[in-house]
Amino acid sequence: MNESYPYLNLFGLRFNLANDIPILVTAILIFILVFWLSRKPSLRPKMKQNVLEWIIDFTNGIVKGAMPGEEGNRFQLLAFVLFLFIFINNQIGLFLQVDMGGKTWFRSPTSSPVITMSLAMMVLLLSHYFGVAFKGFKGYLKGYVSPLAFLAPINILEEFTNFITLAMRLYGNIFAGEVLLLLIQQFAFSGGIVSFGAGFLLEMVWQGFSVFIGSIQAYVFVTLGMVYTSHKVLAE
């Protein structure tokens, strides 16, 4: 899929607007959604409050599955925000793609490896930070020589593989979904009414399946992120 993207050079940095604009839109949507759902809470919750509480309970459940003790309470907000951010980023390009002047201006940010690798790096760096905060520096380093000292190189290599698999799993699924949508669109407009009708039906089916895949990938990313964090903060 040959695409070109608009760039903005600012303060010596080069920004890919095809990533940055959707991320900004996602952040605004999350703020508006949570603000709207959290207005006028009551002891007898109505539909809006029920939706928000369900999302919170869902992400809290992910954290408790990895860290059942009190340690997990510190990561509940992170899991909540991370899940919403990745979920909306996964879906936003399915329903809105903007191409102008031969450039792609709007797509799912998680269809870019730069974004997924940044998210994976952020989660893993936080896991190392909290590992030191919970165990101290000596206790943190001890994790690399447990249960046996000669396993240290393998444990260090595991950190790299965790980063790659966490980033590439999300990127591969979202990118492949958008490529297939593009191919279906090209097929729909390649012939007459028959190809258009068949392409339209395929588009609807794949849109629904892509929403499901995007939801699963958001869940998997947050779950693995919490599992990797638990390995750093919980006692062996």
pLDDT tens by residue, 29-42: 999 999 998 888 77
Is cis: bond before 6, omega within 30 of 0?
no
**pLDDT, tens only, 215-231:** 999 999 999 999 999 98
Residue bearing tokens 């703020």: 31
As a whole number, mean pLDDT of residues 50-56 equals 92
* pLDDT bucket at 2, cuts 50 / 70 / 90: low
Percent of the chain predicted with pLDDT > 90: 42
Contact (Cβ atoms closer than 8 angstroms) between residue 226 and residue 67:
yes
Phi-psi group of 101: left, alpha or beta (phi > 0 → left; psi -120 to 50 → alpha; rest → beta): left
Residue 208 CB coordination number (10 Å): 11
- Give yes or no for residue 164 having a pLDDT over 90: yes
H helices present in the chain, as ranges? 17-37, 47-66, 76-95, 113-142, 152-188, 193-233
Instruction: Name the average pLDDT for the chain.
Output: 87
d(CA 39, CA 223): 29
* Alpha carbon distances (Å) from 183 to 2, 135, 202, 214: 12, 51, 11, 19
Residue 105 identity: W
Residue 42 DSSP symbol: -
Amino acid 146: pLDDT: 76
Mean pLDDT over 56-69 rounds to 92
pLDDT exceeds cutoff 90 at 137: no
pTM of the predicted protein model: 0.87
In the structure, what pLDDT confidence band is assigned to residue 119 with cuts at 50, 70 and 90? very high
Position 15 pLDDT exceeds 80? yes
Cα distance from N-terminal residue to C-terminal residue, the chain: 46
CA 26 to chain CA centroid, Å, is 12
Q: In the predicted model, what is the mean pLDDT of residues 117-125?
A: 94
CA proximity to 7, closest of 20, 22, 23, 24: 20
Question: How deeply is 55 buried, as exposed, middle or buried, from its count of CB atoms within 10 A (0-12, 13-18, 19+)?
Answer: middle
pLDDT value of residue 205: 85
Instruction: Please state whether beta strands 103-106 and 7-10 pair in parallel, antiparallel, or not at all (unpaired).
Output: unpaired
Token pair, residue 165, equals 């698999």
What confidence tier does 155 reach under pLDDT thresholds 50, 70, 90? confident
Q: What is the DSSP letter of 236?
A: -
| Residue 180 confidence class, pLDDT cut points 50, 70, 90 | confident
- List, for residues 68-86, the tens digit of each pLDDT value: 888 888 999 999 999 999 9
Check residue 69 and give its pLDDT.
83
